Structure formats: C-alpha cells, structure tokens
Amino acid sequence: AQSVTQLDSQVPVFEEAPVELRCNYSSSVSVYLFWYVQYPNQGLQLLLKYLSGSTLVESINGFEAEFNKSQTSFHLRKPSVHISDTAEYFCAVSVPGGFKTIFGAGTRLFVKA
Amino acid sequence: GAGVSQSPSNKVTEKGKDVELRCDPISGHTALYWYRQRLGQGLEFLIYFQGNSAPDKSGLPSDRFSAERTGESVSTLTIQRTQQEDSAVYLCASSHGTSGAPSYNEQFFGPGTRLTVL
C-alpha cells in the first residue's frame, strides 16, 4: 500500500520569499507523483506531475518539484512567491497500472504582503 | 470539452434525511472517483469506478453511503439518514483510466458539493 505524508500543515511566508512544501511517500513499487492546488473556494487542479524521465518537473506558474527516489520525497519549491499563490497544496501518489490515488493531508500556504 | 460538473453546488439538509449528489465526468473518461473533504482536512477517498469493473468501495465510511454509475457516464453518491458528521465538501474526479495514455492517472476535479447537515 502507498501513503503520503505532508510534513507541514501550514506554511506562512512573505511575498517574494522562497518556499518549500515537503512531501514524502511510502511505496514498495514505482509510483507516479502529483501536486494539486486548491485555491480559496475553488476545486482542486493539477499543478505538476512526475510520471517518468527527468526527476525535475515544472509548472507554468514557476513551481517545481524534484522526485528523489532515495529519500522517497517530492518536495514542491518556488523561488519567489506571490500573494496569488495562497492556496492549499496536496501531494498525491498513484501506482502505474492502478487507478487509486492517495492524497496527503494538504499544506496551507499563506503568502503575506 | 467541458470539465467535471457536480450538482448541487450546495446542499443543506436536516439530520436523518437522505441526500443524492450528482457528478458528470469528462466525456471519454472511464475512471470516476468520489472523495470527501472535511473542513480543514485533506481528501478522504470514498469510492472509484473503472469502466464496467466492480467499483472499489473500500473508502465508504458506513453502509449509509452508496454510489452508482451507469456505464461511463453520470454517477450519483447517496447518503442515507444523514448525520452531522457527514457535513463536508464532496468532490468528484474523473480520469482517462486506460493504460497506454501517459497521464491516465491524472485526475480532473469538479467544483464539489458542499453538504451541510443541521
């Protein structure tokens, strides 16, 4: 079985500061990894994903995440955050060939002016 | 095409009543999921459907919860004899669900139904 741990429930940060949202997973088989974002009063949407190939994946709005197999991590980073990045971020894992996705508990990013 | 839609967007009901929540997946998506998100908490898997296979009901919290899906179309989640602890946002998602498509595990979410049980 797979599991996902998001180590921080809330991350407050000032605008233009860097941020890292941590995600660790557990699995005995290879996995697909995802970050989803939920803006206030909106549904979840996919931010970025790792399926195979390059371990560094990027989103269109400046976020990136690196798959680290040895540390079983998929941390999300952004070098300079904006007020508009305030949202809840969910890390998720699924198994190739399977359809069940396990979500972490979420990290609430709060960007302050 | 259109995204995943859910109805109603909000539902207020009295304790003990039955409620039915509806999800329209993206056309062509064979996999459909239901999740529950309680206030301030993460997503709790409830059930998923994949084509004509038997659904995975392992996340349903009690026998008051049930879900149906006709073929690869609309799904309904029914909660009988609602309790206050059922108050949450119920999210539906769909995905391609066919092997070979590189992103077949990517899920597309609807806006959710906010259920309030008084």
pLDDT digits (tens, 9 = 90+) for A13-35: 999 999 999 999 999 888 899 99
> In this model, does residue B41 exceed pLDDT 80?
no
Interface touch B112/A43, C-beta < 8 Å: yes
The CA dihedral of B51, B56, B61, B62, to the nearest 10 degrees, is 90
Q: How far is A29 from chain B (nearest CA, A)?
A: 16
More confidently predicted of B13 and B29? B13
Interface touch A100/B35, C-beta < 8 Å: no
Q: Are the beta carbons of B36 and B79 closer than 8 angstroms?
A: no
Interface touch A32/B99, C-beta < 8 Å: no
Site from B107, B108, B113, B114 to mutate, A interface, most A CB atoms within 10 angstroms: B107
Two structure tokens written together for A103: 């979500």
pLDDT at A11: 97
Two structure tokens written together for B98: 């066919």
Cβ atoms within 10 Å, residue B39: 8
| Closest residue in B to A100 (Cα–Cα) | B48
Average pLDDT over residues A78-91: 96
Two structure tokens written together for A81: 């955050």
Cα separation of A66 and A46, whole Å? 16
Two structure tokens written together for B65: 């919860």
